[in-house]
């Protein structure tokens, strides 16, 4: 059995260079590959194009890469809770391509499946459609969106085995599932790494063929972007 296991996060990010395009799984702070992001923050890599639903918060996740000005361009669906992301976008320091959330997910999935492009009605007649081919299907106009071309896809899973098979937990599945295999090299950061044969094949969400490197993270923070509770009665 081919093993995809690497010894640590430093080995996992070997080959990532300045100017590359990288996908980051997660939604807000849920399911983000935080150990891998922290390792990239400790490097001198810069001018990255990052594909992610959003950019976390100011002091965690991709927000740390933004603080160090390591990101040149963000391809996201919204600015979210990151004030630094918003500041850099409005000041022109950061190039931002805002994409409808469903389109963002499908461009990832298309890359994963080897589909070069697809048509969607989302964004037709708006700035999103500028410069893109438009066609009519069943009486409705659609625009053509191309699959992403990423050098690396970095995902986070709850559990994985040394062959790269992955299981996500709850809503942490989010963009991780469609990004795995969507880059030339996929790095999987897992909370628990087990020997091959330990996982129930019926429970596996992503097969190991989609993953090139896998490692167990050292620590994980279960942060919540906005804690909302009921008033005390």
pLDDT digits (tens, 9 = 90+) for 35-90: 999 999 999 999 999 999 998 888 899 999 999 999 999 999 988 778 899 899 99
Identify which has the larger pLDDT, 221 or 5: 5
Reduced to 3 DSSP states, what percent helix, strand and coil does the chain have, rounded to the nearest 5?
25, 30, 45
Helix (H/G/I), strand (E/B), else coil: 120: strand
pLDDT mean over 115-126: 97
Closest by CA to 10, choosing from 28, 36, 49, is: 36
Instruction: Using a cut of 0.75, tell me whether the model's pTM lies above it.
Output: yes
219 φ, ψ (degrees, to nearest 5) = -150, 150
User: Does residue 215 register a pLDDT over 80?
Assistant: yes
User: Does residue 231 register a pLDDT over 90?
Assistant: no
Alpha helices (H) in the chain, listed in sequence order: 9-12, 34-41, 62-67, 83-91, 101-113, 174-179
- Domain boundaries in the chain? 9-216
pLDDT 10s digits, 189-207: 999 999 999 999 999 999 9
Looking at CATH, the fold of the domain delimited by 9-216 is given as Glutaconate Coenzyme A-transferase (3.40.1080)
Task: Check residue 166 and report its DSSP letter.
Answer: E
pLDDT 10s digits, 64-79: 999 999 999 999 998 8
Residues 6+ apart with CB under 8 A from 197: 161
Percent of the chain scored above 90 by pLDDT?
Answer: 85
Task: Check residue 140 and report its DSSP letter.
Answer: E
User: Does residue 183 register a pLDDT over 90?
Assistant: yes
pLDDT 10s digits, 127-168: 999 999 999 999 999 999 999 999 999 999 999 999 999 999
């Amino acid at each position: 059995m081919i093993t995809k296991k690497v010894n640590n996060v430093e080995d996992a990010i070997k080959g990532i260079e300045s100017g590359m395009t990288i996908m980051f799984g997660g939604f807000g702070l849920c399911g983000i590959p935080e150990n891998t992001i922290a390792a990239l923050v400790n490097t001198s890599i810069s001018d990255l194009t990052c594909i992610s639903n959003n950019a976390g918060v100011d002091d965690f996740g991709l927000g740390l890469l933004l603080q160090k000005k390591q990101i040149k361009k963000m391809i996201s669906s919204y600015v979210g809770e990151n004030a630094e992301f918003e500041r850099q976008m409005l000041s022109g320091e950061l190039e931002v391509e805002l994409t409808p959330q469903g389109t963002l997910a499908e461009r990832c999935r298309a890359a994963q499946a080897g589909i070069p492009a697809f048509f969607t009605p989302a964004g037709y007649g708006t700035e999103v459609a500028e410069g893109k081919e438009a066609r009519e299907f069943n009486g409705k106009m659609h625009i053509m969106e191309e699959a992403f071309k990423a050098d690396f896809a970095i995902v986070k899973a709850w559990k994985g085995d040394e062959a790269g098979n992955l299981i996500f937990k709850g809503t942490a599945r989010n963009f991780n599932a469609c990004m795995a295999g969507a880059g030339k090299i996929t790095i999987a950061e897992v909370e628990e790494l087990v020997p091959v044969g330990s996982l129930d094949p019926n429970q596996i969400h992503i097969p190991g063929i989609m993953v090139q490197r896998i490692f167990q993270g050292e620590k994980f923070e279960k942060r919540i972007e906005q804690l909302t509770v009921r008033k005390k009665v």
